Amino acid sequence: MAVSTYLYRLSRWCFRHRWATLASWVLIVTVAVLGAQAAGGRTDDNFSIPGTESQQAVSVLKDKLPAASGASTQVVFAAPDGQDITDATRQKAITQAIRDLGALPQVTRVGNPFETNLVSPDKRIALATVTYDTAAGDVEEATVDKLEPATAAAEDADVKVAFSGDVYPHDEAGVNSEAVGMVVALLVLLVTFGSLVAGGMPLVTALFGVAISMMSLTMLAAVFDIASAATSVATMLGLSCGIDYALFIVSRHRANLQAGHSPEEAAGRAAGTAGSSVLFAGLSVIIALCGLTVVGIPFLNVMGLAAAGTVAIGLLIALTLLPAFLGFAGERMGRFSRLPGLRRARPATETAVHAPEKLTGTRWAKWVVRRRVPVLVVGVLGLGLMAVPAASMDLGLPGADARPTSDISRQAYDLTTEHFGPGYNGTLTIVAENVGQPAQAQAIGSALRKLDGVASADPAAVVNGIAVINVVPTTGPSDSATSDLVHDIRDRRTELAAGTGAHLLVGGATATHIDIATKLGDALPVFLLVVVGLAFVLLTFAFRTLLVPLKSIVGFLLSTGAAFGAQVAVFQWGWLKDALGITPSQTLCFLPIILLAIMFGLSSDYEIFVVSRVKEHYTRHGDARAAAVTGTGLSTRVVTAAALIMVSIFVAVMTETDPVVKALGFSFAIGVFLDAFVVRLALVPAFMALVGSRIWHHPEWYGRLVPDPDIEGEKLEERLGRPSTRRPEQPTPADA
């Protein structure tokens, strides 16, 4: 039995048993909320990768010098302009603050800057390091919240205090980006459907999915390390995909109502046609996200699986809970509002059913098909040109220097850079094994100080046969010269430890970030091959042809390459930096692999939605060029709405101050925009018109061996009978 038939029956069952379906999902939400409250898990930003040298250094410290293996906070004490931080009153106040910080839970040690000689040459700034007995993700919120109160004595003495490092007090979130995105999405849905009932339904179902997913992640965070970026990505995809999937089904449902079907039959047919496309589109996203697990990086595994789970829940809700809501709405789903600005939805919906050749989207498709060669040339060259900056991509983990100047960690970074030098923001931790005497550590430190790019190298401890040497680079943590220094130390470790018998490991936050960037860069080709291969198989099965998935992959590479280029131009080169409120820095190291996964899934979404409509009309009439026009024309309005919703949600995320989240939002927004409007609604119909019926060719043996999933619902409609396409005799009343 074809997929479309299964979905047709499932939708009608949920429609008829709507109270039971709704009760089941409400129960799931309730259990998830109660479970999250009981678990009390929280996310962290512990970006570690097993098997790297920096992680090996952490393991050695945990085993032999636990006090030095935990997270840390750098506290910057700054005297007013022209005044001395070593003034007796200020020195006494800072010493008291050091004692208060040392009394906090989980704190093992606080270095007094007047004892460790961490006072700037101009005597304006003093640096203290708070060391914890655990990793950053395990430092309790209560401890972090007490950092600022613990420095009250220093602030009372007219000393400015700022924090940075692995753990520090973050500013309270300002604008709720998810709320902004949902408001914009609701406006787009209202204009698209011209009805509060129809427009609000996709948003409600998406919120069900996001609520379940976020509560589930909170429960899992009590057991596993889950990065805060993982919840941001899951929320963005949960909202956007959840809304889009419901949007496509609701749009087809209302068209079926316009064609004269009963609400239950309309819901069943919508699930059998648009729902089939939604199912394969959702599976393509899930496959792409699950493909992140092949990289072998824990936080990316969690991020991919969390996002895939969120999309899967949204997909299940669109195929079950949405038909139940359609049952509750009944005939009201076919009504339109008379409010200004929403009236155009009625003629657009009726035209799509009775005269699709008059649609604006159809006129656009005709223009594209007539000029198919110039459209292809200009589109491909334009996207290729946009991708050029991607060749200069510099991967890393943007730190405090990429945050806005209002952020407390950015203030600490700037003060440290100005009065000590940029390297003090990214000290390297050299762990020397097999060191028994302080003289050996001193010898290694002397050798390190002779390297280019080293500002200082001071042994901090010699315990249990290991020495810890803090190396301060002359450049900042995001500078490529710092990365060169890390590799230089590793390449020359034998020479640097000559005569001591020691083995050197380079660790610390900066080295960890460099290792992550290197690991991710090496994993990109493998990931791309696996994900593209799996998705190729899925799309080949869905459309029973080779050219369609190949075309989809090429389009994905064009739009993703352009998104990479825009990312580099804006976040590395600083184009539009003032307008977007960003500070140029490195490209987020895990952004390329995340963007590849998500963009491949989303581009497959739009590919399936457009091409399934084209195939539907080609199967009926056999005219490939006319099918490209009609299928694209019928898809344009709903794909435009879906893309605008996704883009608005991603753009809303850019209101966040976190540079990591801002970079993700920008890259997803520009990638989705280009893929939907340039690739899927322009290049795809142009290419399909150029190739003609050959695009649907497949070998005879393939047709015999591979079952037809009937993604466009053609067999289902043949069995059930074509829509009557009769016009309603009476205008339906408004619902608003």
Residue 38, pLDDT above cutoff 90: no
Interval 467-524: pLDDT, tens? 999 999 999 888 889 999 999 999 999 999 998 889 999 988 888 888 888 888 888 8
Cα(664)–Cα(674) distance, integer angstroms: 16
What pLDDT score was predicted for residue 710?
66
Give the Cα-Cα-Cα angle 228, 230, 231 (nearest 5 degrees). 70
What confidence tier does 180 reach under pLDDT thresholds 50, 70, 90? Answer: confident
Is the alpha carbon torsion for 404, 409, 415, 418 positive or negative? Answer: negative
What confidence tier does 736 reach under pLDDT thresholds 50, 70, 90? Answer: very low
Residues 312-341, mean pLDDT to the nearest whole number: 87
Residue 646 CA: distances (Å) to CA of 234, 652, 671, 673: 13, 10, 10, 9
682: tokens are 């322009």
Residues 6+ apart with CB under 8 A from 718: none
Distance, CA of 273 to chain centre: 30
Between 140 and 352, whose confidence is greater? 140
For residues 665 and 595, the answer to whether their CB atoms sit within 8 Å is no
What pLDDT score was predicted for residue 594?
84
Under DSSP, is residue 23 helix (H, G, I), strand (E, B) or coil? helix
For tokens 């300002």, name the residue: 174
Give the Cα-Cα-Cα angle 483, 507, 501 (nearest 5 degrees). 110
Task: Record the pTM.
Answer: 0.81
For residues 555 and 383, the answer to whether their CB atoms sit within 8 Å is no
Residues 6+ apart with CB under 8 A from 276: 3, 4, 7, 612, 709, 710, 711, 712, 713
Cα(705)–Cα(297) distance, integer angstroms: 38
Side chain identity at 729, as an amino acid letter?
Answer: E
**Mean pLDDT, the chain, as a whole number?**
86
DSSP annotation of 487: H
**Strand blocks (E) in 193-324:** none
What pLDDT score was predicted for residue 727?
40
Give the Cα-Cα-Cα angle 27, 32, 33 (nearest 5 degrees). 100
For residues 671 and 560, the answer to whether their CB atoms sit within 8 Å is yes
Interval 691-729: pLDDT, tens? 988 888 877 777 677 777 767 666 777 777 654 443 443
Edge-to-edge strand ranges of the sheet holding 107-110: 107-110, 125-132, 72-78, 160-165
Cα(536)–Cα(604) distance, integer angstroms: 10
Residues 673-683, mean pLDDT to the nearest whole number: 94
Residues recorded for the chain: 736
Cα(482)–Cα(473) distance, integer angstroms: 7
Give the closest residue to 606 by CA, choosing from 645, 661, 654, 658.
645
What pLDDT score was predicted for residue 420?
92
57: tokens are 């250094």
Cα(400)–Cα(408) distance, integer angstroms: 9
- What phi and psi values does residue 112 have, to the nearest 5 degrees? -80, 120
For residues 582 and 509, the answer to whether their CB atoms sit within 8 Å is no
Interval 358-370: pLDDT, tens? 788 899 999 999 9
Residues 547-568, mean pLDDT to the nearest whole number: 91
What is the DSSP track for 629-648?
Answer: HHHHHHHHHHHHHHHHHHHH
What is the DSSP track for 425-448?
Answer: GS-EEEEEES--SHHHHHHHHHHH
What pLDDT score was predicted for residue 174?
52
Residues 287-293, mean pLDDT to the nearest whole number: 84
Edge-to-edge strand ranges of the sheet holding 428-433: 454-463, 466-473, 428-433, 503-507
Interval 56-103: pLDDT, tens? 988 888 888 887 778 889 999 999 988 999 999 999 999 999 999 999
Between 225 and 313, whose confidence is greater? 313
Question: For the chain, what is the total number of helices (H) and then of strands (E)?
Answer: 29, 10
DSSP annotation of 662: H
Side chain identity at 248, as an amino acid letter?
Answer: F
Distance, CA of 343 to chain centre: 36
